[in-house]
Amino acid sequence: MSTSDGSIDLERDELVGLLKEQLALERETIASMDKQVRRTKNRVIKLLLDGIVLDSMKHIDMLETMIDLLTGSVVPEAERDELGKELKRHIQVEKDSLDRLEGVIGRTEDKGVRFLLQNIASDERRHHTVLDQIISTLAVGENITDMDWWDDILKSKDRVILLFYASWCPFSQRFLPIFEKYAQSNEQICLRVKTDDKASL
Amino acid sequence: MIKQVSEKHSVEVVPTVLLFERGIVTKRLDGVPGVGLNEKQLRDLTDAH
């Protein structure tokens, strides 16, 4: 979470909105790349563009998952243990495959083959990081509920200043620019919380 | 989310400023109805610690 630029709005709806926009962009990428893939006759170009399409599909899954997380669904406990075990096994499999790939990369002269193998290797390395992260998340039994999410943010720093305001309130309107100015001239983390939604107050 | 945080710390008026230190509220500024808050109050809250 970036906070160095002063105050940020932690409206969850806003974040979900941004994720949804990104989702739409990824879908556009897939559509336009797909067109190019079909047009080109060069196999290497086809392959690389296909890779981008696959990445975008993956990103769509990730974005949808984030939206799920933010809107409340969590991993049930029974599923968690099973998943953790499976992921640990998979980390080992990928590590072996990475070692093998690196061996081959070092012994091939063909530039094209080298390039593609390096691509695979970098994917595997990235997977390793991702899997590690998932496992550590599962290990602490993290159910990302609303309150935990807030607690994490609040506990992550020594001092956090939280402003509750409402856009319809004239005193809030008057105070917001003061708060913003303070946030920008200050190292401390200043967050705004909009409480407009009467139903949720 | 907003409901939980504001209820937990009984935020009843806007604007209200809460100062958290390692996850715990150590100071707060409740807006005065009909008056609100000013810059000095904000500075006093965060400077004196």
- Assess if residue A163 is contained within a domain: yes
Mutation to test the A interface, candidates B6, B17, B28, B49, most A Cβ within 10 Å = B17
Cβ A161–B31 below 8 Å, yes or no? no
CA atoms within 13 A on the CB side of A53: 15
Cβ A164–B14 below 8 Å, yes or no? yes
- Assess if residue A19 is contained within a domain: no
Q: CA A161, A164, A166 angle in degrees (round to 5)?
A: 150
Q: Are strands A189-194 and A8-9 parallel, antiparallel or unpaired?
A: parallel
Cβ–Cβ contact B47 with A under 8 A: no
Per-residue pLDDT tens digits for A128-164: 777 776 666 655 544 445 556 566 667 767 788 888 8
Residue A162's DSSP bridge partners are: A191, B18
* Contacting residues of A for B19, CB less than 8 Å apart: 159-162
User: Which range marks the domain in which residue A184 is found?
Assistant: 148-200
- Supply φ then ψ for residue B27, to 5 degrees: -150, 155
- Nearest-Cα distance to chain B for A139, in Å, is 22
Cα–Cα distance, A38 to A129 (Å, whole number): 33
- Report residue A27 as tokens: 């879908």
Cα–Cα distance, A160 to A151 (Å, whole number): 11
Q: How confident is the model at residue B37 (pLDDT cuts 50, 70, 90)?
A: very high
- Assess if residue A28 is contained within a domain: no
Q: Are strands A159-165 and A189-194 parallel, antiparallel or unpaired?
A: parallel
Domain total for chain A?
A: 2
Mutation to test the B interface, candidates A156, A164, A188, A196, most B Cβ within 10 Å = A164
- Report residue A63 as tokens: 């974005």
- Nearest-Cα distance to chain A for B49, in Å, is 11
Residue A200 pLDDT > 70, yes or no? no
- Assess if residue A57 is contained within a domain: no
Cα–Cα distance, B37 to A79 (Å, whole number): 49
* Contacting residues of A for B38, CB less than 8 Å apart: 175, 178
Residues A103 and A156 in one domain: no
- Assess if residue A166 is contained within a domain: yes
What burial letters (b/e) apply to A15-45, b meaning 16+ CB within 10 Å? Answer: eeeebeeebeebeebbeebeeebeeeeeeee
Per-residue pLDDT tens digits for A155-194: 767 788 888 888 888 899 899 888 888 877 777 777 777 7
A101 C-beta neighbours (distance < 10 Å), count? 19
Per-residue pLDDT tens digits for A98-121: 888 888 888 888 888 888 888 888
Cβ B2–A160 below 8 Å, yes or no? no
Last residue of a domain, one of A119, A142, A165: A142
Radius of gyration from C-alpha coordinates of chain A = 23
Residues A137 and A156 in one domain: no
Window 5-44 of B: residues touching A by CB (8 A cutoff) are: 5-6, 8, 11, 14-23, 31, 34-39, 42-43
Q: How far is CA A43 from the centre of its chain?
A: 31
As for the ipTM of the complex, it is 0.90
DSSP string, A89-128: HHHHHHHHHHHHHHHHHHH---HHHHHHHHHHHHHHHHHH
Per-residue pLDDT tens digits for A84-96: 787 788 788 888 8
Cα–Cα distance, A37 to A133 (Å, whole number): 33
Last residue of a domain, one of A111, A142, A173: A142
Last residue of a domain, one of A125, A142, A159: A142
* Contacting residues of A for B11, CB less than 8 Å apart: 164, 195
Ranges of each domain in chain B: 1-32
B44 C-beta neighbours (distance < 10 Å), count? 12
